[in-house]
Structure 1
Amino acid sequence: MTAAIGRPRDMTLAMLRQGLDAALDNVATRLRALAEGKSLPPVAIPEASALPTIARTFNLNDTELALISLAAGHETDPVIGESIKACNGSGHLDLALARQLFGPQVWDLLCPEAPLRFWRIVELVGQGPLHQRRLQLDERILHALLGTTYIDARLEGLLHRTVAEPAIGLPGHQLVRAIIAAWRTTERLPVILLGGPDPLSKRALAAAAAAELGVQLYRLHAADIPSDWAQRSALAVLLDREMALSNAVTLIETEADNSAVAATLTNLVTGPTILSAVDPPLSDRSPRLRLELLPPSPDECREIWRNTLGTRADALGTDLDRLATQFTLDAPAIAAATALAANPETLPEALAPTLWSAARAQGRRALDGLAERIESSANWNDLVLPPGQLQVLQDLAGQLRNAWRVNHRWGWAAHSPRGLGSTALFAGPSGTGKTLAAEVIAGVLSLDLYQIDLSQVVSKYIGETEKNLARIFAAAENGGAILLFDEADALFGKRSDVKDSHDRYANVEVSYLLQKMEAYRGLAILTTNQKSALDTAFLRRLRYIVNFPFPDAAARAEIWKRIFPDDTPRQGLDPQALARLSISGGSIRSVALNATYLAAAIPEPVQMTHIHRAARRELAKLEKSFTATEQEAFR
């Protein structure tokens, strides 16, 4: 099949139907001549019809076009139906009648591999010998001859029409030019392998290219591609045919688990095809063109924000730089965030925080399905730590707050873009505030916090751990979220002696995670209960290491003072006495919450008796019992 991109449609619907009527008149004349035993007039194909286009598209000759006209007349013209009955007595358009009209070459023209049958333009229906089989024109082809365009019923639900929407500062505009240049030809069309992490941006790019070419864009999700080879082959034929009839392009969108089956489909189709994947697999189809849509740079994001906001951008000042560097959003996402936040009622002083919240919501769309988002309203007052550790955490938050200035205004990103990410290790016993510290940093910076369980990410299958990590970091880039990798000892054990391939690969996994953390422009935090179990070679690659000690009596008293919300009624609580309970901050919170429920059941203010009962249960859970000193707290 010869594919043509952007072919002009210069014939009106009336002209197409008049042309088809002329073709049917030629068929009727030949049928009458056959019925009367006269010599058959020559086949005539009107130029002012859809038939020449069908011929060029499917590489058909005049006899094949005459067969199509005959089948079309049988479907639409009662006069031709009567003429067929006059010829064979049955009124059926069978293979024997076609042979009488066009000679023995009909056998070749209607074999399964010939264009008429391969492209399912004409089908042979019925039972019995082949010469008794009836010819039936495919309905989609019949409507194409009549000038009507629609998606084949067999592709309904699989193909989705995508219209190009105006996108301010569409990233990757140079890729649009590359696609157009590759497809403005009547030679073999290259399959476009479009890589990059953002499927919506790639869809917008493909739609923009199709719009400039003057063609339709239909997208197909790889999950809908049949796994059965015969069904997939049949889909390829229908897909190719539909793209030619509709003057359209196919965009196949894939995910990690179905990109391979999508590649097999691109090997079967010949029409204009774009295969969209994070890392598109190589297709056997040739030629092919690999393009990569990179996330927009901070400068590109800033320009998109300015164009979208218009004159209101000037009121943002340096907040515009923070927005552009913190959130890697494409033009549609920025437009959506602006529509949500920058309405006419938004006061100038509220514009920056409302835009930040809207951009944050847009940035989390890819990560929500991969990790657990932790909602928190914690602040520095909720964190009880020694002054040294508290200062390190505040410095870390300040680094994130000013990363846009240091990296982009003061030139560090241009000087050496490697290793600008913030990496931290929070080490300490369970319940000492490691997760709370991450919540505080996320809260004061108004960023999302996502907790990733490394035990669920690490896979025994070679290469799967890296794929899982790559998906998480790629999804997090949009919103610059804070990533909290819990229980790092699941992966970061002492570097083992390399005795076999498994030991070597375990070290590769660790190195890969550290590499992704260093390249990530947000904050990635590892937590561990056993710092001594971590390899010092790995620790050297972390920018911040914060040790969370088990709280001493003074720290425990301070935690007891702060642990209850202001609205919780209390009576007779003694923080100094409660500090004798040798438990961590996490356990203190659990005891305080359970004591509050005990008091609410009565109801009465929280008192020492409620805390005593709750503490006894907490210690039992920890498989501990009250010491004499701890019992003194409740006497």
Structure 2
Amino acid sequence: MTGAHQVLAALADVEIDVRRAVAERKAVDPKPDDPYRGLYLTPEMVDRILADGPAAGDGPSGPVLTRLAENFELTDLDVRFLLVALAPEIDPRFERLYAYLNDDVTRGRATVGLVLSLCGLPPAGAGRFRFGSGAPLVSGGLIEVLDEDRPALARALRLPDRVVAHLLGDRELDPSIAGACRVRTENADPEAARLGAGVAAGARLLYFRTRDGDPSDKAVRVLAAAGRPALVADARQLDGHMAVLVREARLRGAGIVLGPVDALGDKLRDLVARTPDLPTILFGRGYWDPRWGDRTPVSLTVSIEGQHRLGGEQLRRAGTVAEHRALLAGRPVRAEDVQAGVRAQNAAGLERLARRVVPEVGWDDLVLPEPVRRQLTELTIRARHRDQVLGTWRMRPGGGRGRGVTALFAGESGTGKTMACEVVAAELGLDLYVVDLSTVVDKYVGETEKNLERVFDEAVDVQGVLLFDEADAIFGKRSQVKDAHDRYANLESAFLLQRMESFDGIAVLTTNLRANLDEAFTRRLDVIADFPMPDAGQRFALWDRCLGAELPRASDVDIKFCADRFELTGGSIRSCAVTAAYLAADAGRSVTMADLVTAVRGEYVKLGRLVLDSEFSPW
């Protein structure tokens, strides 16, 4: 028997009571020639209404009502009240009969007084208090009491559309929260089984603290182990519909998974108050604040394993993006499609503080000594396996240390530090975020620290590599305190030391002056790579790659001469190649050796270097 049939069968007793009440009313109804006949239903009209449908026999309450009573802690009398109020929502005959019994054709809903009467209860008895604001029917959102300006017994009762739909078998989420919620269930793992046993035994409020992702998958498995589906809600999209969220969870017999709690504000206290008996798992970045509710949860620190720290819903969306990219290209899904799908889940908050770079270079584009390349490889290995090494194997225990990976790239401007960061990001399938120091450094005391804290907090929500270019500007050495300025500068450095140590992401610092960095920073770094000036062989490879395969070259172009004679960094060589290309384009011909030499001379002037004719001979 379906939910709708069960409910219709359960209305049988309600119809019998209504017929009895109608019979009693007909015995004292006004005469047919009453001048106000049009304002009420006559006995003859009531007879016709009753004749429209047969009197129902006794029917079972059905599992749907049994589960409803269990989930909302309803008494048998509450269920009876609910059915009386439900009747006109699904059978139009009851609307007209209730209007007749209410002696008002405009009031087709059950009133408090009518419900009590149909259930054989006195109007001044305890039954009327089952419609108070704290009673299960009302506090659970199953019944709304209307017409507060009327006397208590004359107030109409209404069932929300979602409650009516649920009783008739509809499993769709309430429209007001459908965009923020998803019903999920997954198989439990051993750890989830242990926690789930605790939930099943009575632990009703858990808090998962995490700094590196969305732990909703773990929470769903815990609830599954406790024998419940999970109603997973995004607090950033919920828009304060706490009562609706709790009602939906109770209707389904589900537990609630909700976070991040940082987005809830004062609404969190309302949720905690509404769920004393409902399994609820909250999650957020910080530690639980007792001011968030009158109940204290069991707090657990959880880590999201894997290179891409995404929750289940984000993973599903990333997979959809990857699949659609492949469909548009008319080919199977590739690794780059998956990476693009993952990057599409990045929060936009960091882009207000940093410049987002989608990597477009690879290892073949780097011209670096082999020791430096090995250090870059070590950085990617640390980023890939940090959860196993730092988490499972606990190689960085205690002290509030994060599971981040930090590196320093030191070397003169143009030696390839930024490109190396881009290559590392590409190897890991991540975006590169270059922090804009103009949005961070502030002349006012304490503001730089606040801005950096915003950068680190926003970085948690992105799948990316964080790059602090020219890092010595904000990670400089602490000095002896001689005045207030020194003291505050040292406080700023101390804050950065602590924040970097607790960071859970991947960060790279670059500097032209390694000696300017505080030694305490370098001690905390995982990888330090020194980028030297390229030698002649490396300069030859750089000239060849910067000129590229598409740019036409004249027969007199001698890049070996350029590599041997001009000691330039990779950045300067690229700048010279671009300048020469513009000269050739303006002349409408291939790039010539004269163009290259002219470009190099201009680069020397720009760098403030001495231009010697002998160095450029014979050109």
TM-score w.r.t. the length of structure 1 is 0.68
How far apart are 1:592 and its partner, in Å?
0.5
Q: Of 373, 379, 392, which residue of structure 1 is paired with 2:371?
A: 392
AA at the equivalent of 1:249:
G
Which residue number corresponds to residue 434 of structure 2?
Answer: 452
Deviations 1:545-588 (A, max 9, x none): 55545668998677546642245332223453687667543122
Which residue number corresponds to residue 179 of structure 1?
Answer: 196
Q: Of 288, 291, 295, which residue of structure 1 is paired with 2:297?
A: 288
AA at the equivalent of 2:375:
L
Assess if the C-alpha contact under 8 Å between 1:423 and 1:525 holds in 2.
Answer: yes
Assess if the C-alpha contact under 8 Å between 1:260 and 1:281 holds in 2.
Answer: no
Q: Of 92, 103, 128, which residue of structure 2 is paired with 1:89?
A: 103
AA at the equivalent of 1:465:
L
Q: 1:253 to 1:538 in 2, by over 3 A?
A: closer
Which residue number corresponds to residue 13 of structure 2?
Answer: 22
Assess if the C-alpha contact under 8 Å between 2:210 and 2:302 holds in 1.
Answer: yes
Q: Of 137, 161, 184, which residue of structure 2 is paired with 1:139?
A: 161
Q: Distance in 2 between matches of 1:25 and 1:539?
A: 84
Assess if the C-alpha contact under 8 Å between 1:161 and 1:217 holds in 2.
Answer: yes
Q: 1:391 to 1:245 in 2, by over 3 A?
A: closer
Which residue number corresponds to residue 514 of structure 2?
Answer: 531
Which residue number corresponds to residue 375 of structure 1?
Answer: 360
AA at the equivalent of 1:70:
V
Assess if the C-alpha contact under 8 Å between 1:580 and 1:633 holds in 2.
Answer: no
Which residue number corresponds to residue 161 of structure 1?
Answer: 183
Assess if the C-alpha contact under 8 Å between 1:426 and 1:525 holds in 2.
Answer: yes
- 1:272 and 2:279 aligned: yes
AA at the equivalent of 1:569:
P
Q: Distance in 2 between matches of 1:259 and 1:81?
A: 41
Percent same amino acid at aligned positions? Answer: 24
Q: 1:27 to 1:291 in 2, by over 3 A?
A: farther
Assess if the C-alpha contact under 8 Å between 2:233 and 2:258 holds in 1.
Answer: yes
Assess if the C-alpha contact under 8 Å between 1:73 and 1:80 holds in 2.
Answer: yes
Assess if the C-alpha contact under 8 Å between 1:374 and 1:451 holds in 2.
Answer: no
- 1:104 and 2:124 aligned: yes
AA at the equivalent of 2:411:
G
- 1:629 and 2:616 aligned: no
SS of equivalent to 1:183: helix
Assess if the C-alpha contact under 8 Å between 2:7 and 2:168 holds in 1.
Answer: yes
AA at the equivalent of 1:221:
D
AA at the equivalent of 1:121:
L
Q: Distance in 1 between matches of 2:66 and 2:162?
A: 17
How far apart are 1:525 and its partner, in Å?
3.9
Q: RMSD value over aligned CA atoms? A: 5.1
Assess if the C-alpha contact under 8 Å between 1:35 and 1:86 holds in 2.
Answer: no
Q: Distance in 1 between matches of 2:391 and 2:242?
A: 50
AA at the equivalent of 2:494:
V
- 1:507 and 2:468 aligned: no
- 1:152 and 2:174 aligned: yes
Deviations 1:251-288 (A, max 9, x none): 21327x51545633532431332213344644425252
SS of equivalent to 1:492: coil
Which residue number corresponds to residue 469 of structure 2?
Answer: 486
Does 578-587 or 202-211 show the bigger shift? 578-587
Q: 1:24 to 1:142 in 2, by over 3 A?
A: farther
Q: Of 50, 61, 83, which residue of structure 2 is paired with 1:69?
A: 83
How far apart are 1:63 and its partner, in Å?
5.3
AA at the equivalent of 1:491:
I
Which residue number corresponds to residue 322 of structure 1?
Answer: none
Does 374-383 or 488-497 show the bigger shift? 374-383
Q: 1:141 to 1:21 in 2, by over 3 A?
A: farther
SS of equivalent to 2:11: helix
Assess if the C-alpha contact under 8 Å between 1:612 and 1:634 holds in 2.
Answer: no
SS of equivalent to 1:141: helix
AA at the equivalent of 2:281:
I
Which residue number corresponds to residue 40 of structure 2?
Answer: none
Q: Distance in 1 between matches of 2:141 and 2:390?
A: 62
Q: Distance in 2 between matches of 1:174 and 1:577?
A: 63
Which residue number corresponds to residue 581 of structure 2?
Answer: 596
SS of equivalent to 1:155: coil
Q: 1:12 to 1:458 in 2, by over 3 A?
A: same
Deviations 1:99-129 (A, max 9, x none): 7664134654444444444444333445964
How far apart are 1:25 and its partner, in Å?
1.8
How far apart are 1:598 and its partner, in Å?
3.3
Assess if the C-alpha contact under 8 Å between 1:194 and 1:277 holds in 2.
Answer: yes
Which residue number corresponds to residue 452 of structure 2?
Answer: 465
SS of equivalent to 1:90: coil
Q: Map of 1:219-618 to 2, 5 A cutoff?
A: 219-226=232-239, 232=240, 235-254=241-260, 258=263, 260=265, 263-270=268-275, 271-279=278-286, 281-282=288-289, 283-286=292-295, 288-296=297-305, 372-379=357-364, 382-383=367-368, 390-397=369-376, 399=378, 416-417=395-396, 424-438=407-421, 450-453=432-435, 455=437, 460=447, 462=449, 465-466=452-453, 468-469=455-456, 472=459, 484-497=467-480, 502-512=488-498, 515=501, 525-542=508-525, 545-548=528-531, 559-560=542-543, 563-571=546-554, 572-575=556-559, 576=561, 584-611=569-596, 614-615=599-600
Q: Of 24, 33, 36, which residue of structure 1 is paired with 2:27?
A: 36
Which residue number corresponds to residue 204 of structure 2?
Answer: 190
AA at the equivalent of 1:611:
L
Q: 1:512 to 1:392 in 2, by over 3 A?
A: farther
Q: Distance in 2 between matches of 1:626 and 1:113?
A: 86
SS of equivalent to 2:479: coil
Q: 1:580 to 1:238 in 2, by over 3 A?
A: same
How far apart are 1:291 and its partner, in Å?
3.0
AA at the equivalent of 2:251:
L
SS of equivalent to 2:104: coil
Deviations 1:512-564 (A, max 9, x none): 355358x87x8x54211233422344445556655545668998677546642
Q: Distance in 2 between matches of 1:177 and 1:242?
A: 26
Q: Distance in 2 between matches of 1:277 and 1:595?
A: 54
